[in-house]
Amino acid sequence: MGQSLSKLYVHLIFSTKNRHPFITSLYEDSLYKNISGIFKNLNSPVLAINSMPDHLHVLFILSKNSSLAGTVEEVKKSSSKWMKSQGCESFSWQIGYGAFSISQSNVEMVTKYIVNQKDHHKKFSFEEEVKDFMKKYEMGDFHEDYFWR
């Protein structure tokens, strides 16, 4: 095959440092636009983005020319700088992230899940959500004590 093709859907989750509630209504929409623009510049379009004050969910298509780790690093670094430039000078993202592959047939379901984050978290905490993802995706190397630092 003379052409390289890929279409990898990724559900990405990462939190603010110490899960501090930095992502307020003051920053929310502009932060989503900023992060979506960063992904676009990396040729990894965002399909859905939403957050709670202490964590963010993004569904995107990973560029065939980029690594997941490199993409996440650039998104977190650039968006952190942007937040600081908006007056949130103590802002930073927590080290680490969760990234999960999504099949084409589940894109609509995951999109709805991300869009409905605020309703979801009326019933479930972020810790419960993370534990559910670790179980669902059989993340055997998940160490709770380390993860929540």
Whole-angstrom Cα distance, residue 1 to residue 145? 46
- Please compute the mean of the pLDDT values over residues 122-142 and round it to a whole number: 70
- CATH number of the domain encompassing residue 60: 3.30.70.1290
Using an 8 Å Cβ cutoff, are 41 and 97 in contact?
A: no
The number of distinct structural domains making up the chain is 1
- Provide φ and ψ at 69, rounded to 5°: -60, -45
8 A C-beta contact, residue 99 and residue 12: yes
DSSP alpha helix (H) spans, 1-149: 28-41, 68-85, 107-115, 117-120, 126-136, 144-147
**Domain enclosing residue 122, as ranges:** 8-147
Is residue 63 a part of any domain in this protein?
yes
Residue 143 included in any domain: yes
Token code pair at residue 70: 């490199």
Q: What is the pLDDT of residues 9-21, one digit of tens each?
A: 999 999 999 989 9
Residue 3 lies in a domain: no
Write out pLDDT tens, residues 35-81: 999 999 999 999 999 999 999 999 999 999 999 999 999 999 999 99
Kindly report the pTM of this predicted structure: 0.87
